[in-house]
Amino acid sequence: MEKNIGFISTRFAGTDGVTLETSKWAQVLKQMGHQCFWFAGRLDKTPSRSMLVPEAFFQNEKNQWINEQILGKKARSSGVTDTIQSMKTFLKARIKEFIAKFSIDLLIPENALTIPMHVPLGIAITEIIAETQIPTIAHHHDFYWERTRFFVNTVGDYLRMAFPPNLPNMEHVVINSAAQEELALRTGIASIIIPNILDFDNPPAVDSERTLRLRQSIGLNPEDIMILQPTRIVQRKGIEHAIDLVKDLNDPRYKLVISHEAGDEGFEYAEWLREEAGEHGVDLRLFSIFMGDPWSDNEKIKSEYTLFDVYPCADFITYPSLYEGFGNAFLEAIYFKKPMLINRYAIFVRDIEPKGFDLIGMDGFLTRKTVEKVREILTSNQRKDQMVDHNYQMAKRYYSYSILQRWLNTLMTNFFGMEAQS
pLDDT tens profile 55-84? 999 999 999 999 999 999 999 999 999 999
Percent of the chain residues past pLDDT 70, beyond the cut: 94
Rounded to 10 degrees, what is the CA torsion of 34, 36, 190, 409? 20
Are 4-197+400-420 and 208-398 in the same CATH fold? yes
Contacts of 72 (CB under 8 A, 6+ apart): 149, 152, 153
Give CA–CA dist 395/200, Å, rounded. Answer: 7
Per-domain boundaries in the chain: 4-197+400-420, 208-398
CB atoms within 10 A of CB 318: 32
CA 353 to chain centre: 20
Fill in the DSSP letter of residue 128. Answer: H
Which tops the pLDDT comparison, 218 or 343? 343
Contacts of 85 (CB under 8 A, 6+ apart): 120
Asked whether the predicted pLDDT for residue 302 surpasses 90, the reply is no
Asked whether the predicted pLDDT for residue 289 surpasses 70, the reply is no
Asked whether the predicted pLDDT for residue 267 surpasses 90, the reply is no
Asked whether the predicted pLDDT for residue 328 surpasses 90, the reply is no
Give CA–CA dist 375/370, Å, rounded. Answer: 9
What confidence score (pLDDT) does residue 241 get? 96
- 4-197+400-420: what fold? Rossmann fold (3.40.50)
Give CA–CA dist 109/56, Å, rounded. Answer: 13
Across 103-107, 265-269, 417-421, the highest mean pLDDT is recorded for 103-107
Does CATH place domain 208-398 in 3.40.50.2000? yes
pTM equals: 0.86
Backbone angles phi, psi at 185, to 5 degrees: -65, -45
Give CA–CA dist 145/102, Å, rounded. Answer: 34
Burial class (CB in 10 A: 0-12, 13-18, 19+), 26: buried
What length does the chain have? 422
CB atoms within 10 A of CB 418: 7
Q: Are 116 and 144 in contact (CB under 8 A)?
A: yes
Backbone angles phi, psi at 407, to 5 degrees: -70, -45
Closest CA to 255 of 218, 201, 307: 218
